[in-house]
Amino acid sequence: MALRIPLALAAVLVALPCMAAPLAAPLAVDLRNESEPVLCAEKDNVALSFSSAAVRRFRIEAVHPAYLGTLVADRTAPDWTQCDMSGDPAVPAKPRTEILYSDKRFRLVGFTYASFWRAPIVPVRVAGRSFEGLHMVQLFTTTPRGRYEALVFYPPDGYWRARPLPPAHLKEAAYGSSFLVGPVEVDGRPLVRLKDVAFDPATATFTLGFAAGGSAAMRIATLDTERQSLDITLSAAVSARPFAALRSMYVTAFNNDAAAAAWKPPEAKGWREAPIMDVPGGPVLELWAGRISPSRHNTSAPDMVFGPFAGD
């Protein structure tokens, strides 16, 4: 029997390049958990980093949580209870919104806020044009239900968020956890210093130039109503620092963006699991971070999967 693909999903799959072959010869990477407890639900306190002097290719996925089909009401409003941001750095700027690129498949929109914790000095390039002074960039994709924002990134600090297309019973799904790609360092908080970011609409690929040298190509390999898969290739292995990191929020089991983790150790036949604040770290082949029950914060936000990882 021929496989039938829903019209909405088929339209998106046609719009994107074919998915690459699965990564071969998976490598174990060193997972480190530096998460700290907080009371503020708008502060990223979950910090998981991945290190390896051999990894050149890996995958990051944003996957709808298992309970999404049962979700009747979503919660996406911020929760500023017990939050004090008065001590955060604030670099002023002139607000603006600009469409950087638009075609039948993609639209790229840039934003400058009145202030941000880092100066907007990283240029964003697309279709032969360069744009300066942006704090945030949104990527929209065209679906039968209209344009949908599927990915967002912050050039000043290298943070990214991704989400799948929404299921039929929801208008949209929330963003949740963030991730970093490239040499991760800490300057007040974890970040990746970018030299520039370029987007190629023809291949759905972002190229990240790193201030420390080297680059990464991050291609949207799959985007449908189940997941968004990003295939990442580093120009050279990152040896002195983590090459990727997960940033998320956990206050309680009912107020979080990620509450649990499961990982595949190289010596085990199956996965191991723990509350996300208690993940011990060590060598892993893959890691899942997400929720198995709804949260009051960003209830529809996706789970995140890191791996498999591979060398040359």
Domain spans in the chain, listed from the N-terminal domain onward:
53-75+90-310
pLDDT of residue 24: 60
Cβ-Cβ contacts under 8 Å for 222 (sequence gap 6 or more): 16, 19, 228, 229
pLDDT of residue 56: 97
**DSSP assignment string, 64-115:** --TTGGG-SS---S---TT---TTS--EE---EEEEEEE-SSEEEEEEE-SE
- For 11, 245, 247, the CA distances from 18, given in Å and listed in that order, are 13, 26, 29
d(CA 132, CA 134): 6
Please state the pTM of the whole predicted model.
0.90
pLDDT of residue 215: 98
pLDDT by position in tens, the chain (length 312): 333 434 444 444 434 544 444 556 789 999 999 999 998 887 889 999 999 999 999 999 999 999 999 988 788 888 778 788 777 888 899 999 999 999 999 999 999 999 999 999 999 999 999 999 999 999 999 999 999 999 999 999 999 999 999 999 999 999 999 999 999 999 999 999 999 999 999 999 999 999 999 999 999 999 999 999 999 999 999 999 999 999 999 999 999 999 999 999 998 789 999 999 999 999 999 999 999 999 989 999 999 999 999 998
d(CA 75, CA 66): 16
| Residue matched to tokens 């297309």 | 165
Tell me which amino acid residue 46 is.
V
d(CA 58, CA 300): 25
User: Is 212 exposed, middle or buried (CB count within 10 Å of its CB: 0-12, 13-18, 19+)?
Assistant: middle
For the chain, the maximum distance between any two Cα atoms, rounded to a whole number of angstroms, is: 62
d(CA 125, CA 103): 16
Cβ-Cβ contacts under 8 Å for 137 (sequence gap 6 or more): 100, 108, 109, 110, 111, 124, 152, 153, 154, 155, 197
pLDDT of residue 209: 98
pLDDT of residue 78: 80
d(CA 190, CA 89): 14
